[in-house]
Structure 1
Amino acid sequence: MMTRRGLGWLSEAADLPERCREVWADDPRRPYALPTGRLFDVVVLEQRIGVETFDQLERHQMPVGPVMADWATRQIGFFLFPGSRAPFDRTLASESSEPPTYRYLGSNSLAVVPGPMPLSGDRYTWLRAPAKRLDNTPTHAVTLAAMLVAAHELVLRADRYGEALSRRTAGDSGKGTDRDQ
């Protein structure tokens, strides 16, 4: 659940912060389009990679800011301090020669964010709602990039295992066992 400080910080990113707070006072589930690059940037990942990245960050108690989900487009957005692109990209490049696909929303972009109190079935929800203003610490961007690469490799490995298992199972389906004969 979003804290009052988190709501205040997030609504300050709006072109008209008071209007944003009014909309959320009327309907706390309502998503709102906010410009990125002023108070936060957002790294957007495909859902499977994003959920695994978030899970690993949480499981290992690593630093992570707000994280949102757009279930209709199957995307996860990680909030970073504005201007974090350079350390994020640098870490990705050092961790992998083939980094996973992502979109980085900085200046001159918009992100549709969940309202302060979405319900579990809503299109836009928080995996981790804002609790306070983002800190200007490079560890968030570096940690996110490193865990993104690790999560991507884990998902790829799971996919390869699943494909191999399917091929073996399909190859065995035409053969009878002693009991079948």
Structure 2
Amino acid sequence: MTRTGAKAAIAWLASVAPNPAACRAEWERDPRGVALLPAGRLWDVLIVPGELGHPTLDVLTRLVSRPGPVLAGFGEARMGYFVPPGTAARWVGTGIRGVGRGAWIVVPRPGATVDGARWIVPPDGSGALTDATLLELALHEAAAAMRGGPGGVR
């Protein structure tokens, strides 16, 4: 990520913080810092188990040149896909947790790995998100491939 891209990503993420200027200043002061940010304003997050999340990202990158931001956490045991606001309230999927309005997530500074949390696909500052319909299709294809079903042989 370029320095300009990192600044744009920081500004975009911090814009949802209760005090955006303080959030940006904290990340500038401590590049290994994290912020607790509210979901549901600019984005929701769908949290997928890592064993499904990684193959899903492989499928997504075949469908689009660059998916929206994706976080990995807890030793990559979970992945968080940033999707349009409101997605979490409508999402129905076994084993996938939606984080939307009224919930908060811990976000590392773009370009940093903090306590095992890191950006697999960092935000670029443009506000681009993963399309929920494409994510659902990618999840189905990845799950089928893991089972050795249509779309993949194990």
TM-score interval, normalised by the smaller of the two chains: 0.7 to 0.9
Shift of 1:30: 1.7
Count of residues in Structure 1 that have an aligned counterpart in Structure 2: 148
> TM-score, normalised on structure 2?
0.82
Q: Please point out which of 81, 94, 105 is paired with 1:111.
A: 105
* Aligned residues: CA RMSD: 2.6
Q: Please point out which of 59, 64, 67 is paired with 1:64.
A: 67
Shift of 1:31: 2.0
- Aligned counterparts of 1:73 and 1:6: Cα–Cα separation in 2: 22
Deviations along 1:132-154, whole A, 9 cap, x unmatched? Answer: 24258xx7111011111111222
* Structure ID, larger Rg: 1
Q: Percent identity?
A: 31
Structure 1 position 155 matched with structure 2 position 149: no
Flag the structure with higher strand content.
2
**Tell me, which stretches of 5 or more residues in structure 1 are unaligned?**
93-98, 163-181
Q: Which residue of 2 aligns with 1:3?
A: 6
Amino acid at match of 2:96: Y
Deviations along 1:33-56, whole A, 9 cap, x unmatched? Answer: 111001110000001111111111
Work out whether residues 31 and 124 of structure 1, in 8 Å CA contact, stay in contact via their aligned partners in 2.
no
- Aligned counterparts of 1:154 and 1:101: Cα–Cα separation in 2: 17
Q: Which residue of 1 aligns with 2:38?
A: 35
Q: Please point out which of 101, 122, 133 is paired with 2:95.
A: 101
- Aligned counterparts of 1:72 and 1:156: Cα–Cα separation in 2: 23
Q: CA 1:52/1:73 → structure 2, altered by over 3 Å: closer, same or farther? A: closer
